[in-house]
Structure 1
Amino acid sequence: MNSFTEVIGLLNDEQGRDALTGMVRGIEREALRIEPSGDLATDKHPESLGAALTNSRITTDYSESLLEFITPVHQNIDDLLTDLTQTHAFTVRNIGQQQLWPVSMPCYVGDVADIPIADYGSSNVGQLKRLYRKGLTYRYGALMQIISGVHFNFSVSQALWDRLYEASDKQLSRDEFISESYFGLIRNYRRQVWVLPYLFGASPALCSSFIKDQPTTHPFKQLGKGTLYLPYATSLRMSDLGYTNKEQERLNISYNSLAEYLTGIQAAIKMPSAKFEAIGVKVDGEYRQLNANVLQIENEFYSPIRAKRVTQEGEKPSEALARAGVEYVEVRALDVNPFSSVGIDAQQIRFLDLFLLHCLLSPSPKSTPAEEAEISQNLNAVILEGRKPGLMLSRHGQPIAMQSWLHQLFDELSSVAKLLDGGEQGDYHTTLAHWLAAVDDPSKTLSGQILTELLSTQRDHSYWVKDLAQTYYQELMDYPLAADVEQAYRQAASDSLQAQAQLEAQSTVSFDQYVSDYFAEPKLEAV
């Protein structure tokens, strides 16, 4: 196994730099639709945006109110952000006076029964998607499901794989080498995932309506009429208040190889849950959930990163991975950035490039149960107290100051920046300098900036966010959306409505049979 320094040296020529810069990225951004009052919009997904089931660019996640914007993959960061901005601009022009909620934690919700579960029509695939979400409601409640995030999809060039494979011992086939290298990236990412909520966590505060009657041991402080916050928190979205599933704590899904990962996912899908069994699957002739297992389907497995491959029609994610290996990774630990109208900015993307390449190019030993516990403890510490002066984490069982670990990481990231920039200065060096300032001064992290703003003005979080929503609404309304671009979005919306109608006309199998066929035993064998 080559050291990080050796791999950097291996790529230190023109062809190596070209191979590194050939990475591609895609973004999925979630955003609640809200009324001008700041309340959750509870009407149906606007027809002007097309059919959520079949529109590849604008869909919904859990709720009719929770939009999801999906970009195609791009090699150029400016093109990626332009694409995402155009999708936002088209959307705000087609939702009347409604606006997009620009943070991760939800706006004020009076009665959770008012949160509308996403409706994908009467086709079997549409009904399956809706029933899965209905199951989530019974299992975890609707409120948890309307938390928003940003997902970052990332893959490196075939030219880079050529260079790395040539330098390997070639004991694996090239395809096997790529999959196992992506799993090496994933293991290293998990070891250092806490870096992302430290820098980019943007949910240190929330509306007290989100807690409602939930018991909580967190020592919240109160601001204004209804804002709760933790003084050093970075990402309450990633805490036990956010995306959590206590039942999943007993899953033992390994990232030590693609084969072990697939075995673990399959076991999880079949693992019965007494808690979910008590809900019932079909009660009085009406489905409540897809099944009573710990996971209804693979997507229910909450993870801060996923190994992915584009699926073929009717294929499950694990079947795609088994068929042809890992194609890209999906980073899922990002809060919505409230300082951007589209939830993420170029400085974050460039840092993610550096961070993920570092994870890929560094040695990545297999993980142990002790290390998994350490990973969980470090992440939880940074989520709840990431900006606390002198915060200590654990690395290889030894205590280390978080700030020291960050400085060591940034020193190594500078080697990657030098290759990507082709020298000692450039966009990636600028990005590193920008975020290094936040290492030395926690108030410059996203969460630090938010709390500084709230505490200095003594404003309720919801009022601050509502003003941002109005500002971004106007900014996106004023965005110069070219006529041909707008027409392309309209055409895509129209085509998606037609495609959904065709699916509904073709659904001849009963839904009961469709569900039974969907869970038929897959034949999984990693390539």
Structure 2
Amino acid sequence: MTADAFRNLIAQTRDKSFLVARRGIEKEGLRVSRDTHRISQLPHPTALGSALTHSAITTDYSEALLEFITGVHATPESALEELFHLHAYTSQSLPDEIIWSASMPGELEGEADIPIAHYGSSNIGTMKRVYRNGLGARYGRAMQAIAGIHYNFSLPETFWELSLAHSETTLSIKDWRTQGYLALIRNFQRRLWLLNFLTGSSPAVSRSFLAGQAPKHLVEGQSKTLMSRHATSLRMGDLGYTSSAQDGLQICYNQLETYIQTLTDAIVEPHEHYASLPPTSQGELLQLNHGLLQIENEFYSAIRPKRVTQSGEAPVRALRARGIEYVEVRCLDVNPFTPLGIDVDTTALVDTFVLSCLLEDSPLCTSHSRKIDNENNQRALNQGRSPSLRLLDDAGNEQTVVEASASILMSMEATAELLDSANQTSRHVEAVNAARSKIVGDEETYSARVVRELDEQSVDYSTLMGEYSKRWNRIFQDFALPLNARTQLADEAIASLRKQREIEKSDTSTFDAFLQAFYTQYH
């Protein structure tokens, strides 16, 4: 079905509830000392339950890197409310610590300052630990201390059923949905530069984050600070979630099977450098395998096709069996200027951006188109606010940011009107208008604000982010958490600790046998 046919169908359908998107939010944040802002060296607090089995509060790479996971919500307000409750409960459970409210960490005292997460003695807990050992060995721990926000987006099944019924295809609903999400992802990759421009908030970093000489595009700011004055997101650029070893991975989203096979090959085929690493370090296994990827999660991408997995099921196996269920947007920085790192305005922008990627025709990607997409994104990340920035069109011709964004914003505006109609609001059109203002310079981007406040206050990066972290912590500390929410989270913490003990008691195989059984899914 063409984009025009899609939009005509939507316009002719009176009840637009099939456009009410569903979203879940995963938000990361470091536990740091209330006074010194040093990364916590303490274990995951018992009051927060088990990081292995808790459904909403866990850890990412580091023992100190908290991750809050909301349920799936039909409104952004309810998703943000749940995230606020998780924040408040956690903050009120940390007597001497606060949650860092920025993507890039503050002052670091070397790699050893970043403790790797523990998940207990079970086989699955050991696997999670060894996977993180491997990440540290392959990329360094500092990179793994970066925090971000993952935004899980899906449309109701009625959307796919209605669109399939008005198409001429013979595809099953599973394959129709999967092809739709793949088309969304292809357009997302083409337009990614714009979303990074609008939501990036990490143009600066503590000098201690980098070992050795700083890259040429970074300049000295106030004491202990490096910045790129026109950058939008160092987190998504060459200082953050990137891997030169993965540059050769030609991930293509034209067919699901190709995507699955590429990831599978990267997991099962040995990588020369990783195969040369020692098998153990400090008495622990150093990595899960010798592949370019230990598991799918190691592939760094701005968006992923996802499917809820069963216990012990590999993600690619779930995708192959049941198709794509939702997409995970992974490029959002933690906005330091709002308590949760994300607000309702950003959710409106992301919802509009993502749905517009689905409602437009999506040409298949080629090696040429991938190069252009990657080049545009890197230019926007490193020099997004430079007046001299030029981006490439499909033919490789250069154009201004205003010119490059014009057709995208037109598509987003049409989508915003549909979303506002379906949700009885005006926030989606307002989000597109705000995006236009940021592109022409009438409104300040988050990244521009970071640079401006660093200059105006003559402070270093860690001091500025620390002050915002303390400000938001006071809000969470003073919040009267509803009794039912507090009770539910306290009960979940106790239940998760019990569940972890039960998993550890029920293990009957050795870890080697467990790991071998897991990897048979890729063969």
TM-score normalized by structure 2? 0.96
Q: Match of 1:366? A: 364
Q: Distance in 2 between matches of 1:217 and 1:141?
A: 17
Q: Distance in 2 between matches of 1:466 and 1:287?
A: 35
Q: Name the aligned partner's letter for residue 409 of structure 1.
A: I
Describe how 1:251-266 pairs up with structure 2 within 5 A. Answer: 251-266=249-264
SS at match of 2:520: coil
SS at match of 1:99: strand
1:248 partnered with 2:228? no
1:81 partnered with 2:84? no
Q: Distance in 2 between matches of 1:322 and 1:297?
A: 16
Distance 1:284 1:85, change over 3 A: closer
Question: 1:7: Cα distance to partner?
Answer: 2.1
1:336-376 Cα offsets, whole Å, 9 max, x none, are 01111111111110111111111111111110001111111
Q: Match of 1:62? A: 61
Q: Distance in 2 between matches of 1:74 and 1:283?
A: 42
The share of aligned pairs that are identical, in percent, is 37
Q: Name the aligned partner's letter for residue 354 of structure 2.
A: L
Question: 1:159: Cα distance to partner?
Answer: 1.6
Q: Distance in 1 between matches of 2:132 and 2:183?
A: 32
1:267-305 Cα offsets, whole Å, 9 max, x none, are 111222111112133579742111111111111111110
Q: 1:376 aligns with which of 368, 374, 378?
A: 374
Q: Distance in 1 between matches of 2:73 and 2:282?
A: 49
Report if the CA contact (8 A) 1:104-1:148 is conserved.
Answer: yes
SS at match of 2:150: strand
Q: Distance in 1 between matches of 2:284 and 2:420?
A: 58
Describe how 1:35-46 pairs up with structure 2 within 5 A. Answer: 35-36=33-34, 37-46=36-45
1:463-522 Cα offsets, whole Å, 9 max, x none, are 111111110110011122111210110000000000000001111211121122121244
Question: 1:14: Cα distance to partner?
Answer: 4.7
Q: Match of 2:265? A: 267
Moved more, 148-157 or 242-251: 242-251
1:151 partnered with 2:150? yes
Q: Name the aligned partner's letter for residue 457 of structure 1.
A: Q
Q: Distance in 1 between matches of 2:129 and 2:12?
A: 51
Question: 1:206: Cα distance to partner?
Answer: 0.6
Report if the CA contact (8 A) 2:264-2:522 is conserved.
Answer: no
Q: Match of 2:120? A: 121
SS at match of 1:28: strand
Question: 1:400: Cα distance to partner?
Answer: 2.3
Question: 1:13: Cα distance to partner?
Answer: 3.7
Moved more, 446-455 or 149-158: 446-455
Describe how 1:499-518 pairs up with structure 2 within 5 A. Answer: 499-518=499-518
Count of aligned positions: 520
Report if the CA contact (8 A) 1:104-1:237 is conserved.
Answer: yes
Describe how 1:323-334 pairs up with structure 2 within 5 A. Answer: 323-334=321-332
Q: Name the aligned partner's letter for residue 347 of structure 2.
A: I
Report if the CA contact (8 A) 2:101-2:465 is conserved.
Answer: yes
Q: Distance in 2 between matches of 1:244 and 1:422?
A: 39
Q: Distance in 2 between matches of 1:239 and 1:120?
A: 30
Q: Match of 2:413? A: 414
Describe how 1:441-520 pairs up with structure 2 within 5 A. Answer: 441=441, 444-520=444-520
Q: Match of 2:391? A: 393
1:233-282 Cα offsets, whole Å, 9 max, x none, are 00000111111211111122221111111111111112221111121335
Q: Match of 1:218? A: 216
Question: 1:425: Cα distance to partner?
Answer: 7.4
Q: Match of 1:318? A: 316
Report if the CA contact (8 A) 1:418-1:425 is conserved.
Answer: no
Report if the CA contact (8 A) 1:443-1:449 is conserved.
Answer: no
Q: Distance in 2 between matches of 1:68 and 1:121?
A: 18
C-alpha RMSD of the superposition: 1.7
SS at match of 1:343: coil
Report if the CA contact (8 A) 1:271-1:294 is conserved.
Answer: yes
Q: Distance in 2 between matches of 1:320 and 1:499?
A: 24
1:126-176 Cα offsets, whole Å, 9 max, x none, are 000000000111111111101000000000011211222123221322210
Moved more, 36-45 or 420-429: 420-429
Moved more, 498-507 or 236-245: 236-245
Q: 2:230 aligns with which of 216, 229, 232?
A: 232
Distance 1:235 1:283, change over 3 A: closer
Q: Distance in 2 between matches of 1:173 and 1:467?
A: 53
Segments of 5+ residues of structure 1 without an aligned counterpart are none
Question: 1:6: Cα distance to partner?
Answer: 3.6
Distance 1:428 1:120, change over 3 A: same
Report if the CA contact (8 A) 2:191-2:408 is conserved.
Answer: no
Report if the CA contact (8 A) 1:443-1:452 is conserved.
Answer: no
Report if the CA contact (8 A) 1:27-1:71 is conserved.
Answer: yes
TM-score normalized by structure 1? 0.96
SS at match of 1:307: strand
Q: Match of 1:95? A: 94
Segments of 5+ residues of structure 2 without an aligned counterpart are none
Moved more, 242-251 or 463-472: 242-251
Question: 1:77: Cα distance to partner?
Answer: 1.2
